[in-house]
């Protein structure tokens, strides 16, 4: 068994959709980035790659590559899952936390878990997503951005 950890941050800006866990969350700001900037899926992808010691998302999908402009991060996560599987592992479970001051994410959590499980060919029971504010402290609290961290366990086949 191997453990992986991922962490990501994106800036909140005007004129972008807020996409988290593959769900378009209604909000006045969205996350800025080369892809759809889905901070939650990026942290999960980095946890999976980290568990397999296969680098990070930037190594596999460079943000200098026009192919990944506004890319659907669910598709990128699915690719990461395939790469980790091809390296001889299967995913045991994922646990992730998104830090965002507003809006409340509770109504969208189960859809996020379902989306993640679907692209990684997992049962939703293997995928945990949680959300927290930071009590108005730091860059999350001032709504300058959002952060996400994730851990996962993978097993050698």
- Residue with Cβ nearer Mg ion (60 or 90): 60
Task: Pick between residue 7 and residue 87 the one whose CB is nearest to Mg ion.
Answer: 7
Sign, CA dihedral 117-118-119-121, equals positive
Residue 92 and residue 70: Cα distance in Å, rounded?
29
Query: Shortest gap between Cβ of 28 and Mg ion (angstroms)?
Result: 21
Radius of gyration over every alpha carbon of the chain, rounded to an integer in angstroms: 15
Dist CA 144 CA 74 (whole Å)? 24
Shortest spacing between CB 45 and Mg ion, in angstroms: 9
- Name every residue whose Cβ is closer than 8 Å to that of residue 134 and which is 6 or more positions away in sequence: 99, 101, 140, 141
Residues of the shown chain interacting with Mg ion in the complex, contacts defined by CB under 5 A: 8, 42
Q: Which is nearer to Mg ion, 146 or 154 (CB)?
A: 146
115, two tokens:
């989306």
Q: Tell the smallest beta-carbon distance from residue 136 to Mg ion (Å).
A: 24
Q: How far is the CB of 10 from Mg ion (least distance, A)?
A: 6
Residue closer to Mg ion (CB basis): 8 or 25:
8
Environment class of residue 119 by beta-carbon count within 10 Å: exposed (0-12), middle (13-18) or buried (19+)?
buried
The least distance separating Mg ion from the CB of residue 26, rounded to whole angstroms, comes to 21
Q: Which is nearer to Mg ion, 68 or 108 (CB)?
A: 68
């Amino acid at each position: 068994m191997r453990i992986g950890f991922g962490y990501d941050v994106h800036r909140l800006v005007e004129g972008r959709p807020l996409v988290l866990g593959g769900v378009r969350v209604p909000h006045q700001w969205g996350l800025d980035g080369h892809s759809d900037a889905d901070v939650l899926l990026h942290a999960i992808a980095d946890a999976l790659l980290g568990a397999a010691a296969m680098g990070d998302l930037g190594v596999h999908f460079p943000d200098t590559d026009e192919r990944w402009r506004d890319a659907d991060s669910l598709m990128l996560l699915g690719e990461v899952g395939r790469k980790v599987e091809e390296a001889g592992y299967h995913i045991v479970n994922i646990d992730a936390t998104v830090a965002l001051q507003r809006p409340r994410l509770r109504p969208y959590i189960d859809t996020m878990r379902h989306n993640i499980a679907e692209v990684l060919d997992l049962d939703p029971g293997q995928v945990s997503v949680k959300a927290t504010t930071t009590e108005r402290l730091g860059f999350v609290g001032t709504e300058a951005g959002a952060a996400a961290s994730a851990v996962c366990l993978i097993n050698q086949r």
